[in-house]
């Protein structure tokens, strides 16, 4: 098996890996789009490059960013997870309920918050196991399984909130606030967590057997199976990793507004998938890069930010502006490859 | 034998015609209630008040049966109507159409089948379909809020507007607001859609705060959006310079008004309880035989510290 490993990613890579110049242009596509967007933002508004604005944008990106890192692995191995947004809402709801229920007994303190966090992480992992087992053991398409669980999680949070909003106990909120609003050496906590997740993700994708197996399975499942890769186990792991990362994002989301409702995390799954694709991962699987995903997430957040900082585009055309930028960002890398 | 039956029937009909209350007790009526599912706070309130009203009416009038259906999209809501007419044999329909344009012709079919139709909150694209129309006052919400802003800023002020979704309700509110402040010195720095949503309210407000060094007030139009905007204002430590007005009457917002908050000085109501008003009036149509056809517009009241208690429903999810 170890001998089979190095040969697989090479087979997995699309023919774009040609001469060095083309490779660079392909690699730099998303980065180029990001730079163009930053130049556009800076020329439209003087506050765009202010530290406060940059901190805001990056902190906001962290939720979908952390989720998108997980989605990179799922998509690279040829899977798909549509349930992440609903799962985040559900986990946030349960965390809030657990913390609120514990406060009368244990009082307000870090212990209660830690228990809430642990419950969130365990539930997130279990939700991932559920998705993963249905896909690998149940032999159902990932699209159908996660479409189903997407509806289930969304309904569950609506049910738990009785159709309204679950709000975190006010005193706990004060203790928990720093997890989103706090800074370490001037950098917001969620940005630090996002960066750590991204770096670990990039290392896992490039330097571990797990990452290489993901590419191999996404590229050709049959070949991967013949190469003695435990296809089902690796698949299952990608969904568990996705579930845990959704939980990590939720841990940072809850202290922001201290509430969860049926509108929490709506369309996060599409944002995460879009970020992954903008970043250069192929939707049909086989090739993924985590750093590209990070750039994709930041591009998506910057579009919203620029629209809010200017009056250039009529608010009615926000969606069109987003669509154009997303397509352009992908066009920048793909057109180079097509002509090669 | 046959003749005697007919005679008895005739007597019974005469008795019913003479006394409306006796008429009501004898016959059973089924009222179908169709509302959007709880996809955000306000519709959550709608579902809550629909359930509450049905529970209390069933107790008061044992001869009334109710069929309640919640639908997540217009297609599902149209199917619900077909099922109610085909299998539950309803006598009346109370509906809050999620998308009034899409549901106009399904509702017309119910009307053609001879049912009493009550439409709540949203206007159908064809006039004269419904027997009874119960709705909130969207232009009133904008106007009342605008007038309050004018009263607070006699010498002018800088405000930002967080709009809802790009649909007619939002436009009616914003147009009326703009009209109300047209002749004042208030300056609208910017307005942007925040989709009646907390997270979007937070994001848009963060960006407005970094864009404008001086903002005096925010019209968030919705209490959920206002909560997000307030979190952003607190993060920027500008809560002593800015106040925020939401809308719709969420319990948390009304509580703050009741407690005399400087940050949230007032609220303007748009009560999801209007669905209860509609169900009650429809039930009374059958129970009393009194005239119930027409329009009933629920006002959008200015909720201040003085009258907040009247609009505070602590048990409601909204």
Reported as a single tens digit per residue, the pLDDT across B202-222 is: 999 999 999 999 999 999 999
Confidence check on the interface: ipTM exceeds 0.95, yes or no? no
Residues in A closer than 8 angstroms to B231, CB to CB, are 256-257
pLDDT for res B276: 94
- Facing B206 at nearest CB: one of A56, A259, A311: A56
Min Cα–Cα distance to chain A from B311, Å:
17
Longest dimension (CA), chain B: 91
pLDDT reading at B263 higher than 80 = yes
pLDDT for res B303: 94
Tell me if B39 and A262 make a contact (CB, 8 A cut-off): yes
pLDDT for res A271: 92
| Assigned CATH for B27-136+274-299 | 3.40.50.2300
| CB within 8 Å of A294: residues ≥ 6 apart | A65, A68, A69, A194, A198, A279
Q: If you average pLDDT over every residue of chain B, what do you get?
A: 88
Smallest CA-to-CA distance from A76 within A272, A218, A251 is with A218
Residues in A closer than 8 angstroms to B211, CB to CB, are 45, 47, 308-309
* Gap between the terminal Cα atoms of chain A: 34
**Crossing angle (nearest 10°) for helices B100-112 and B74-87:** 10
Min Cα–Cα distance to chain B from A337, Å:
36
Q: B27-136+274-299 and B138-268: same fold? A: yes
SS3 of A340, please? Answer: coil
Q: If you average pLDDT over every residue of chain A, what do you get?
A: 87
Distances (CA, A) of B301 to B83, B153, B270, B275: 37, 20, 8, 17
Paired residues of B296 in beta bridges: B134
Higher pLDDT pick, A19 / B49:
B49
pLDDT for res A340: 42
- Encoding tokens for residue A89? 């809402």
Tell me if A316 and B43 make a contact (CB, 8 A cut-off): no
Residues in A closer than 8 angstroms to B317, CB to CB, are 161-165
Q: Are strands B132-136 and B116-120 parallel, antiparallel or unpaired?
A: parallel
Smallest CA-to-CA distance from A150 within A122, A130, A167, A136 is with A130
Residues in A closer than 8 angstroms to B203, CB to CB, are 60, 304, 308
| CB within 8 Å of B133: residues ≥ 6 apart | B118, B119, B123, B294, B295, B296
pLDDT reading at A246 higher than 80 = yes
Report the distance separating Cα B243 and Cα A228, nearest Å: 64
For the residues B57-72, what does the mean pLDDT come to? 90
Tell me if A50 and B210 make a contact (CB, 8 A cut-off): yes
Per-residue pLDDT of B131-171, as tens digits, reads 999 999 999 999 999 999 999 999 999 999 999 988 788 99
CB A128 within 8 A of CB A153: no
Residues in B closer than 8 angstroms to A304, CB to CB, are 203, 207
For the residues A83-91, what does the mean pLDDT come to? 97
CATH architecture, range A4-339 = Orthogonal Bundle (1.10)
Q: Between chain A and chain B, how many beta carbons pairs sit less than 8 Å apart?
A: 93
SS3 of A184, please? Answer: strand
Distances (CA, A) of B200 to B137, B165, B192, B205, B220: 25, 11, 10, 8, 11
- Facing B210 at nearest CB: one of A52, A162, A318: A52
Min Cα–Cα distance to chain B from A317, Å:
11
Higher pLDDT pick, A223 / A25:
A223
Long-range pairs, B295-298, Cβ under 8 A, ≥24: B295/B132, B295/B133, B295/B134, B295/B135, B296/B132, B296/B133, B296/B134, B296/B135, B297/B135, B297/B136, B297/B137, B298/B134, B298/B135, B298/B136, B298/B137, B298/B271, B298/B274
Which range among A150-159, A326-335, B62-71, B288-297 shows the weakest confidence by mean pLDDT?
Answer: A326-335
**Crossing angle (nearest 10°) for helices A51-76 and A84-106:** 110
Long-range pairs, B18-24, Cβ under 8 A, ≥24: B20/B288, B20/B289, B21/B288, B23/B289, B24/B61, B24/B63, B24/B286, B24/B287, B24/B288, B24/B289
pLDDT band at B4 (very low <50, low <70, confident <90, very high): low
For the residues B272-288, what does the mean pLDDT come to? 93
Pick the CATH number of B138-268 from 3.40.47.10, 3.40.640.10, 3.40.50.300, 3.40.50.2300: 3.40.50.2300
Q: Indicate the domain borders of chain B.
A: 27-136+274-299, 138-268
Residues in A closer than 8 angstroms to B259, CB to CB, are none
For the residues A98-121, what does the mean pLDDT come to? 91
Report the distance separating Cα A116 and Cα A93, nearest Å: 11
Which range among A44-53, A128-137, A267-276, B239-248 shows the weakest confidence by mean pLDDT?
Answer: A44-53
pLDDT band at A25 (very low <50, low <70, confident <90, very high): low
Per-residue pLDDT of B80-117, as tens digits, reads 888 888 888 899 999 999 888 888 888 998 999 899 99
Element at B317 (helix H, strand E): none
Tell me if B202 and A256 make a contact (CB, 8 A cut-off): yes
Tell me if B38 and A262 make a contact (CB, 8 A cut-off): yes
At residue B70's C-alpha, the angle toward residues B65 and B74, to 5°, is 125
Per-residue pLDDT of B7-50, as tens digits, reads 555 555 454 444 444 444 568 999 999 998 877 778 888 999 99
pLDDT for res A1: 37
């Amino acid at each position: 098996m170890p001998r089979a490993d190095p040969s697989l990613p090479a087979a997995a890579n699309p023919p774009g890996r040609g001469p060095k110049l083309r490779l660079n242009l392909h690699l730099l596509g998303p980065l180029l789009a990001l730079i163009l967007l930053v130049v556009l933002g800076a020329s439209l508004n003087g506050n765009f490059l202010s530290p406060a604005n940059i901190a805001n944008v990056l902190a906001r990106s962290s939720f979908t960013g952390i989720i998108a890192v997980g989605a990179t692995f799922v998509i690279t191995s040829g899977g798909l997870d549509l349930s992440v947004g609903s799962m985040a809402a559900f986990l946030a709801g349960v965390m809030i309920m657990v913390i609120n229920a514990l406060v009368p007994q244990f009082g307000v303190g870090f212990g209660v918050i830690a228990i809430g966090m642990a419950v969130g992480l365990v539930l997130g992992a279990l939700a991932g196991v559920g998705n993963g087992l249905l896909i690998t053991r149940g032999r159902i398409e990932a699209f159908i399984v996660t479409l189903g669980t997407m509806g289930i999680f969304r309904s569950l949070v609506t049910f738990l909130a009785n159709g309204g909003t679950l709000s975190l106990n006010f005193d706990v909120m004060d203790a928990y606030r720093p997890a989103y609003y706090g800074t370490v050496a001037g950098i917001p906590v969620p940005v630090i967590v996002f960066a750590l997740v991204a770096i670990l993700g990039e290392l896992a994708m490039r330097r571990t057997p797990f990452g290489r197996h993901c590419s191999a399975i996404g590229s050709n499942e049959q070949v991967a199976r013949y190469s003695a890769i435990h296809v089902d186990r690796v698949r299952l792991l990608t969904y568990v990793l996705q579930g845990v990362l959704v939980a990590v994002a939720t841990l940072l989301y809850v202290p922001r507004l201290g509430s969860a409702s049926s509108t929490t995390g709506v369309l996060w799954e599409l944002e995460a998938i879009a970020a992954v694709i903008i970043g250069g991962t192929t939707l049909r699987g086989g090739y993924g890069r985590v750093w590209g995903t990070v750039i994709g997430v930041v591009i998506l957040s910057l579009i919203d930010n620029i629209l809010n900082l200017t009056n250039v585009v009529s608010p009615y055309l926000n969606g069109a502006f987003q669509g154009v930028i997303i397509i352009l960002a992908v066009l920048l890398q793909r057109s180079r490859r097509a002509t090669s | 034998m046959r003749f005697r039956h007919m005679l008895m029937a005739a007597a019974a009909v005469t008795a019913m015609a003479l006394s409306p209350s006796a008429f009501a007790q004898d016959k059973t009526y089924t009222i179908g209630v169709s509302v959007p599912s709880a996809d955000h706070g306000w519709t959550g309130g709608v579902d809550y008040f629909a359930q509450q009203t049905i529970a209390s009416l069933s107790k008061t009038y044992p001869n009334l049966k109710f069929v309640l259906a919640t639908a997540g999209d217009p297609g599902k809501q149209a199917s619900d109507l077909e099922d109610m007419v085909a299998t539950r044999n309803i006598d009346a329909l109370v509906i809050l159409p999620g998308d009034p344009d899409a549901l106009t012709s399904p509702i017309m079919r119910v009307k053609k089948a001879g049912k009493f139709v009550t439409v709540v909150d949203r206007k159908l694209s064809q006039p004269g379909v419904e027997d009874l129309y119960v709705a909130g006052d969207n232009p009133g919400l904008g106007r009342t809020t605008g007038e309050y802003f004018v009263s607070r800023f006699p010498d002018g002020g800088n405000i930002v507007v967080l709009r809802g979704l790009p649909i007619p309700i939002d436009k009616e509110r914003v147009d009326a607001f703009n009209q109300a402040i047209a002749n004042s010195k208030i300056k609208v720095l910017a307005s942007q859609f925040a989709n009646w949503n907390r997270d979007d309210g937070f994001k848009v407000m963060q960006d407005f705060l970094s864009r404008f060094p001086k903002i005096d007030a925010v019209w968030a139009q919705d209490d959920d959006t206002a909560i997000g905007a307030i979190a952003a204002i607190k993060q920027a430590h500008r809560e002593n310079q800015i106040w925020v007005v939401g809308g719709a009457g969420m319990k948390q917002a009304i509580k703050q008004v009741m407690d005399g908050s400087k940050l949230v000085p007032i609220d303007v109501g748009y009560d999801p309880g209007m669905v209860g008003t509609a169900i009650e009036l429809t039930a009374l149509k059958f129970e009393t035989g009194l005239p119930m056809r027409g329009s009933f517009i629920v006002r959008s009241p200015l909720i201040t510290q003085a009258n907040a208690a009247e609009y505070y429903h602590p048990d409601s999810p909204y």
